[in-house]
Structure 1
Amino acid sequence: MAANNADQVVFDKVAEINASKESCNIRVKVVMLWKPTYINNPNMVPSLDMILIDQEGRAVREISNFAMASNENEYRLVPHKHKINFYKTTRVCVSTDFVDTVDPYHFNSFPDLLARNFDTRVAFDFLVELVSTDLMRVIVEYGREKRLMNLVAQDLSGTRIAVALWGSFAMKLNTYISQHNNETAPVIILLRLAKLKIWGGQPQVGNCLFGSRLHINDDMPQILDLNALDTHVESSSRTSQLNSDTVVANLEDYYLRFQIKKH
């Protein structure tokens, strides 16, 4: 992306990247890095994906790809409608003068989430206190196991919203609760790159297929600041009242919990 002599390069702002640009020069920070795999072939890695953020706090997804994405919406994970790609001719070097002064987190308020008052194709960061959890469900579909954990979370005002964590995210939270089931401290989670979907006619926050990160009572400023605040709201979000058991369920049992409507 950048030449060896950065002083001779004019850098593009991430916010100004659009489909009319054949190439661009950017100076960015890598805030996330992961290797997606195919569902039917978990040993095959088609690309190395990143979330990049520039000095103005605008983020974009980069795909160092071996195969192009086929689902545009699946890749709209951050506050930018385009993705960029690294090619064989792309040049990359370490920038020593990147000024990291912008908060990279993008939180939406609970009223906006419940009213869907934002572009729901774009991911956001989600910082909440847990109120309750259902049993972690192991759903078997076509011989493959899927783990799901349904939660209820609340903000500082006591407004609540449903959450669904899948796969390793469900397992991570379930393990945390089982290891801290005798504690009385609140459980604060920060879900980076969350998505909002509609389930059973109601908005529900969940993790993305790729790119999301789950922090549970971690030693980081966002969680510590929320934990230090007194919500003045009656809360049942204590580990002694959260479930850490697991139940095996049929896929049909899960979907039949909600009425199926035909249009």
Structure 2
Amino acid sequence: MEGKNIIYLNDIDGKTRAFTIKVKVVRLWKRSNPKKAGETWAIDMVLMDEKGTKMQATVWSNDFKKHEKILQQNECYTVFKPRFDKNNQKFKHFDTKYVLTFNLETTIRKCNNFIGPTHGFEFSTFKSIKNGGVSSEFRTDFIGYVEEWFAREDTTTRYGKQSYKMDLILRDLEGIALKLTLWEEYCDQMQEYISKNKEEEHIVLIVQFGSVHDYKGTINVANAYYITKLFINERNEEIVNFKRSYIGKASVTTSTHRSIGQSGVTSNEDEFLHNTTFSTIRQIREIAQVMHVIVVGTVMAVDKDSEWYYLGCESCNCKASPSLQFPEDDNGSDDVDPKEVLVCTNKKCKRDVVPAVHMYKVSIQVEDCTGIVNLTLFDRDTVKLWGLSAKQLVDKYLQVSDDEKTIPAEFNAFINKKYAFKIHVKKYNVDNKVDGFSINKLVDDPAIIAKLEKKFDVVPFEEFDSMILPTTVSSSQSDAGVKDSKSYAVDDSTPLPKNYESRKSPCDLKRTLEDSNDLDNSYSVSSTKSRKIETKEDIKAQMKDKLLIPKLEK
């Protein structure tokens, strides 16, 4: 049987015959025929076994008919009787003695029990690269924080070919900077990410199978054509851990860091004060188009009825759901036990069965002087706020409790703090008149918050009772009450109190009895139910029925 003679790549030698390997295709690309435009000459691959050893492999055009359809990147296979040759290629990507060829005598079958690493990264440090300790002859992996990037530049190569590139500055955890040049399709890949994620602040990049260049005594890195693979801010373990460590060491604050959206880069002050529309919580409900808005509010509570994390696809961040798969074993038998795998729920995701990581999805209630709204805080900002990954908190709390809805004590540090939020009003919110918004970004800079609060054009909350919006509603709406509403309304036509202008800020109010107690009624509502219009009587009843729980003296 094929499965009884499986060997590792390092065990291949001149005496090996008719052997079987179990490998993952971590990289696959097509090599063009240099003598005939548009014709594929060969399929090249990087194979990795369960020990993480990598080796080049090739399928030549004469053997495409047998192997081309089954071979895919990121898939695992058992390969019986590959041919091996000495590694005498002009471009040696790896320091191995042999390379493999899949020919007509080779048999390839998909394998579902590969237990090796997911990516097989072998990182070189920036220090070793800059000191000349990494060979320019072979490919290497490196990871860094994208500190700066420069616009695309058209250029001519030393061979006279017209080309284009973009340069980036990467920085590692030791503070060492390294210049990276991305050429052509890799330049396009990075530019596409930037254009779709302009608000992203913390970008970590992994370059797998990159190239080291020594140009006039200056060592830089670049992509190697075809073989290089970019991981841009993906949710794999290596990037998540690097990002958390980098942010912690650099002590990056929300008021000083800039997004990746421009090479000149927009500051938080510009983004929150000048480039995005400001809104009160009450006004959000009146928005009739997809847009981003800025709101200022205090975090009142974390929703205890919602799970605060989920398993997400590390490629696209969408939810990954468990599914049973019935694989064939290596000998072709169907009599095997089903295997539970994770399947990405995003239909546009290029991968079906996916590796997944724990990600934050924290539902919070935020209040300003005009009302209350439910917002959702996702992984990027939550990690930045607490310096802990969702996986760390899951491990910590599920070890002592089986209740997956247990709210970590770390979340208490978020309560009663004021932030400026940039939120996204989506098409779903507008079309269905549904509240509940995603947070794209938040800052706690007192200077930014103070300037934003001057934009409030509402009456103080304590005087709200006498200034209810006189709205005409149907009897059915009135009877329904406001149990499912998230915000309170103030009549724009009602004159402001005479002493309004003398206040420092519309939110700097004298504490009321309600401010001195915890509300048992959380105002929380379903994010999937339509908005309802409040009457004066409805809101009075809500305020009257709140159960106050005295706070304990600390």
Unaligned runs of 5+ in 2: 63-84, 266-554
CA deviation digits over 1:27-79, x for unaligned, max 9?
Answer: 212222221224675521111111111111101111112499x98242x2235
CA deviation digits over 1:191-229, x for unaligned, max 9?
Answer: 111111112421111111122111222232222222222
The residue number in structure 1 matching 2:206 is 190
Please report how far the alpha carbon of residue 151 of structure 1 lies from its aligned counterpart in structure 2 after TM superposition.
1.6
Please report how far the alpha carbon of residue 23 of structure 1 lies from its aligned counterpart in structure 2 after TM superposition.
5.8
The residue number in structure 2 matching 1:85 is 101
The residue number in structure 1 matching 2:163 is 146
Query: Aligned letter for 1:106?
Result: E
Query: Aligned letter for 1:132?
Result: E
Q: What are the residue-to-residue correspondences of 1:193-232 with 2, within 5 Å?
A: 193-229=209-245, 230-232=247-249
Structure 1 stretch 121-130 or stretch 235-244: which is displaced more?
235-244
The residue number in structure 1 matching 2:59 is 64
The residue number in structure 1 matching 2:173 is 156
Structure 1 stretch 192-201 or stretch 88-97: which is displaced more?
88-97
RMSD (CA atoms) = 3.1
Partner-residue secondary structure (3-state), 1:135: coil
So what's the TM-score if we normalise by structure 2?
A: 0.38
1:119 corresponds to which of 117, 120, 135: 135
CA distance in 1, matches of 2:200, 2:119: 31
Please report how far the alpha carbon of residue 238 of structure 1 lies from its aligned counterpart in structure 2 after TM superposition.
4.1
Distance 1:209 1:18, change over 3 A: farther
Distance 1:128 1:14, change over 3 A: same
Distance 1:157 1:40, change over 3 A: farther
The residue number in structure 2 matching 1:110 is 126
Answer whether contact 2:125 2:142 (CA < 8 A) is retained: no
Answer whether contact 1:49 1:62 (CA < 8 A) is retained: yes
CA distance in 2, matches of 1:6, 1:21: 15
Answer whether contact 1:131 1:238 (CA < 8 A) is retained: no
Confirm whether residue 100 of structure 1 aligns to residue 116 of structure 2: yes
Answer whether contact 1:157 1:231 (CA < 8 A) is retained: no
Confirm whether residue 242 of structure 1 aligns to residue 263 of structure 2: yes
Answer whether contact 1:140 1:146 (CA < 8 A) is retained: yes
Answer whether contact 1:129 1:237 (CA < 8 A) is retained: no
Distance 1:178 1:92, change over 3 A: closer
Please report how far the alpha carbon of residue 168 of structure 1 lies from its aligned counterpart in structure 2 after TM superposition.
0.8
Partner-residue secondary structure (3-state), 1:219: coil
Structure 1 stretch 36-45 or stretch 23-32: which is displaced more?
36-45
Please report how far the alpha carbon of residue 89 of structure 1 lies from its aligned counterpart in structure 2 after TM superposition.
1.3
The residue number in structure 1 matching 2:24 is 29
Query: Aligned letter for 2:263?
Result: L
CA distance in 1, matches of 2:186, 2:100: 27
Higher percent of residues as helix: 2
Partner-residue secondary structure (3-state), 1:93: strand
Distance 1:186 1:79, change over 3 A: farther
The residue number in structure 2 matching 1:248 is none
Distance 1:102 1:167, change over 3 A: closer
Query: Aligned letter for 1:95?
Result: C
The residue number in structure 2 matching 1:55 is 50
Please report how far the alpha carbon of residue 170 of structure 1 lies from its aligned counterpart in structure 2 after TM superposition.
0.8
Looking at both structures, which has the greater relative contact order when contacts are Cα pairs under 8 Å and sequence separation is at least 6?
Answer: 1
The residue number in structure 2 matching 1:169 is 186
Partner-residue secondary structure (3-state), 1:26: strand
CA distance in 1, matches of 2:258, 2:208: 21
Query: Aligned letter for 1:100?
Result: G
CA distance in 1, matches of 2:97, 2:226: 17
Partner-residue secondary structure (3-state), 1:239: coil
Answer whether contact 1:187 1:237 (CA < 8 A) is retained: no
1:6 corresponds to which of 2, 13, 19: 2
Answer whether contact 2:210 2:221 (CA < 8 A) is retained: yes
Partner-residue secondary structure (3-state), 2:178: strand
Distance 1:154 1:35, change over 3 A: same
Answer whether contact 2:169 2:177 (CA < 8 A) is retained: yes
2:145 corresponds to which of 120, 125, 129: 129
Unaligned runs of 5+ in 1: 245-263
CA distance in 2, matches of 1:211, 1:108: 17
